Amino acid sequence: MGLIEHKKIAPGLYWVSIPSRKVFLQAGCPADSVKHLIKHGVIRNQANGGALHETGPNCLLLSDLGIQNGQFANLAEFTMLQMFYRQGMLIPNHPGYSKDKPVMIGNPEQIKAQLDYVFRGNYGLIDENELVEAGMPREQAMEMMRLKLKFAFGRIQATHDLIDCRHLSDDALDIGGGVLVKRTGINKFRISVEQEFIDLDLNLAPHEAYQPTYKLNFQRFAPEFFSVIHSGEGDGWDIHRPAMASIICYGPDVYLIDAGPHITHTLRALGLSLNSIRGIFQTHGHDDHFAGLTELMLGDRKLEYYSTSVVRHSVNKKMQSLLSVKFPVLERFFTIHDLAPEQWNNIDGLEVQPSYSPHPVETNTFQFRTVTENGHRTYHHLADICSMSVLQRMIEPDQQKPGISLQYFQRIKDLYLQPADLKKIDIGGGMIHGQAEDFQGDRSKKIILAHTADELTPSQLSIGTRALFGQIDHLVKSHIDNRHEVAARSLHHYFPTVPFSSFYELLNQPIESLEPGSALVRQAGHAQDIFLVLSGIVAAPKSEVPFGLEYVAGYLVGDDPDCPLHQLISKSFAEILRIPRRIFDSFLERYNLKESFSKNISRRRMLQNSDLFQSIKWSPLLNKIAKSVYEIQIKDQQVISHFTGHFVFILETGHLSLFREGYAEELKPGQFCYEDNVITDHAPLELQLKALENSRGYLIPHVVLKDIPAVEWKLLETYKRRSQAIQKAPVLHKNAS
């Protein structure tokens, strides 16, 4: 029998076990990697002296790349928590206690990023000054720091004191017991012991994505005027359900509460896309509520971000740590709305009141309400709360010591027990979560119990119930059809110079519903019509057309004459507005739009097939961008040192070499470069272009890209990948030779 046991767990995630050397290695650390290890039986309960504790990794090999295909590649928070507490590696007298610290292996940049990010995930803002800078009054900041220190057992501890960090550089690294780890390429590694070895590749394929551990059934999206969709009831360890979350529907607007891992997977099951979402309410920055934020950056417009300033600052510092950047990430990719805490804030008629809730990091509860003729209808969302028994033990009259006051305890108890028409609560238990028994006397009309992977007990079911995925609670019935408002907004996005009142002839058409798997065109006579997707996803089978032919809410289908309408099917429950071709053409002619609408179609196709715009294909934004590009002809063997100004270059035809001393890569049609022109002012990559044949491409001004979060995110991801490759190129070349 060999010394090394290993298997691929999921894209970008491997398990390597070398029992004889007591090395149990997790290679790769995408979101929900712990859940995948649980699902595959790698992490399981084990009896030791009559006590149960979990098995699992004691070593973690990080990806060289912090971002892959728009998703975070390294999210070590829950992996470290599993090692620290569920395995018990850092708990004295625990059956899993080890004098050896968990080992983290990787390049220095990624290790530093992970240490900083785990640190922020443990503590959030770390002193009174940071809280005050985030907008909290000094007296309240002192109160919060007392609470934080109580959760932290009296002191804020640096993460590097808890983890054995091993920098992987040029040579093979011994991680213990004669087990060697060696980098053989960017994100490629060899694990060896004695004469045995295995090779691991943590790179994702161009269109591959990290996956959740669960499958969600398609649900029909059918809210009323004020509705709550239950989109997550689990916790960070639940392999069967998304983490605790909800979706608020108010009029035509859709809002998320938190964005856990694989949030777009959740949205697709509900027939929603990023274009369907107006904004997100953020409770706090733990990974099971935070890790999906990057997926919300892959749309063609900025979503609105609602939270208190203190929570926003906490989340932003964690995001900066992950990305190793200093600029305010949330402000760059979202439209920020800081909500006043402990007050009602008006958002176009929907009122929301955030309140600070005790947790190791800054956390909000949210109360939502809207007025009706019979008074307010209310929804309270209480994620990551604290049990009354734990809080009671924290009461400490001496204000110089960690703890809370009796008055603070009573204030939080009153907050949690405020009655609502609908209330969702965290019952995860333990030191930092709530318990159902605290709500035994709650006068709310309906209570949803969430944030647990366990089955509910009879005692808990006497207090509340568990919601199924996609279940909807309607709080206020709708007497208007909001779908036409959604359609009008989408048309205005395409035709911004046309007033809303001029869309009536387009809107006065039938709205058709599609079941999953249904053909878009069901009658031969409709094959020339235009379709506006209102909800759901319409796409072509991958076997029929190149990957990525997909239309989501807000997109017109059929405006491109080469669109294969007959091949398109619904990938979820969907609703579409069918606009007869004659009416659509008449509309274009009436407002002198026909020529401008069609003349840039070849450039738009070039853009939509490029790597840079792969997340926003067929968006109306591409029409605007197509008008702003500058064509560049590069003759065979011609060398271009640099393009001055804030431009990104996309290659349309031909082949180019992108190079500098010690580094070269081939640029193929659809690929882009010079992202360093717009991402950074202090660390340009200093790359040159050389034509390997006659080539043509386009310069795109950054001014037309800077407010498109998906493009900004792709530029940042590519810059980090290229800078990492340039840094490692001489070493890898030396090793290869």
**713: nearest Cα among 325, 154, 353, 418:** 325
What is the arithmetic mean of pLDDT over 325-346? 95
> Which one is predicted more confidently, 635 or 617?
635
Backbone angles phi, psi at 72, to 5 degrees: -60, 130
Q: Is 319 exposed, middle or buried (0-12, 13-18, 19+ CB in 10 A)?
A: buried
Nearest CA among 653, 660, 718 for reference residue 686:
660
- Looking at residue 544, its pLDDT comes to 41
**Confidence check: pLDDT of 114 > 70:** yes
DSSP string, 82-138: IIIIIS-TTSTT-TT--SSPPEEEE-HHHHHHHHHHHHHHHHSS-SHHHHHHTT--H
Query: What's residue 547's pLDDT?
Result: 44
pLDDT bucket at 542, cuts 50 / 70 / 90: low
CATH for 482-601, options being 3.90.1150.10, 2.60.40.1170, 3.40.430.10, 2.60.120.10: 2.60.120.10
The partner residues of 122 in beta bridges, in order of sequence, read: none
Q: 226-476 has which fold?
A: Metallo-beta-lactamase; Chain A (3.60.15)
Whether the CB-CB separation of 76 and 122 falls below 8 Å is answered with no
For 704-714, what is each residue's pLDDT tens digit?
A: 888 899 999 99
Q: Among 548, 547, 549, 553, which Cα is nearest to 567's?
A: 549
Statement: residue 165 has pLDDT above 50:
yes
- What mean pLDDT comes out for the span 165-176? 92
Q: What is the 3-state secondary structure (H, E, C) of 322-355?
A: HHCCCCCHHHHHEEEEECCCCCCEEECCEEEEEE
DSSP, res 715: H
* Domain ranges across the chain: 5-107+168-201, 226-476, 482-601, 626-736
Residue 57: predicted pLDDT: 96
- Per-residue pLDDT at 623 exceeds 90: no
pLDDT averaged over the chain? 91
> What pLDDT shows up at residue 83?
93
Looking at 87-96, 281-290, 393-402, 444-453, which range is the least confident one? 87-96
pLDDT at 729: 62
Burial 410-422 (b: 16+ CB within 10 A, else e): eebeebbbbebbb
- Per the DSSP assignment, residues forming a β-bridge with 249 are 227, 254
Mean pLDDT of 124-136: 96
**pLDDT range class, residue 512, cuts 50, 70, 90:** very high
- Cα(147)–Cα(401) distance, rounded to whole angstroms? 10
- C-alpha neighbours within 13 Å on the C-beta side of residue 533: 34
Rounded CA-CA distance 612/635 in Å is 24
CA gap 280, 266 in Å, rounded: 14
Give the residue, 583 or 725, on which the prediction is more confident: 583
Q: Please say whether the dihedral angle defined by the alpha carbons of residues 100, 105, 110 and 114, taken in this order, is positive or negative.
A: negative
Q: How much is the pLDDT for 617?
A: 65
pLDDT at 692 over 70: yes
Q: What is the mean predicted confidence (pLDDT) over 408-413? A: 97
Give the pLDDT mean for 673-692.
Answer: 84
Token pair recorded at residue 606: 């070039």
Is the pLDDT confidence value at 734 over 80? no
- Residue 172: pLDDT over 70: yes
Q: Choose which CATH entry (1.10.760.10, 1.10.3720.10, 2.60.120.10, 3.20.20.140) describes domain 626-736.
A: 2.60.120.10
Spatial contact of 311 and 305, defined as CB atoms under 8 Å apart = no
On whether the pTM is more than 0.85, the answer is yes
Other CB atoms within 10 A of residue 447 CB = 21
What is the pLDDT at residue 524?
63
Q: How distant, in Å, are the alpha carbons of 58, 609, 627, 654, 656 from that of 668?
A: 42, 12, 23, 7, 7
Residue 605 and residue 64: Cα distance in Å, rounded? 33
Q: 281: which strand partners?
A: 257, 306
Q: Can you name the residues that pair with 593 across neighbouring β-strands?
A: none
By C-alpha distance, which of 728, 614, 723 is closest to 325? Answer: 723
Spatial separation of the C-alpha atoms in residues 450 and 644, rounded to whole Å: 54
Burial of 431 (0-12, 13-18, 19+ CB in 10 A): exposed
Arithmetic mean of pLDDT, 106-130: 95
> Comparing 226-476 with 626-736, is the CATH topology the same?
no
**Longest CA span, the chain:** 82
pLDDT of residue 737 exceeding 50, the answer is no
Residue 238's nearest CA partner among 466, 528, 522 is 466
Q: Tens of pLDDT along 212-241?
A: 999 999 999 999 999 999 999 999 999 999
* pLDDT tens string 68-103: 988 999 999 999 999 988 898 888 888 888 888 999
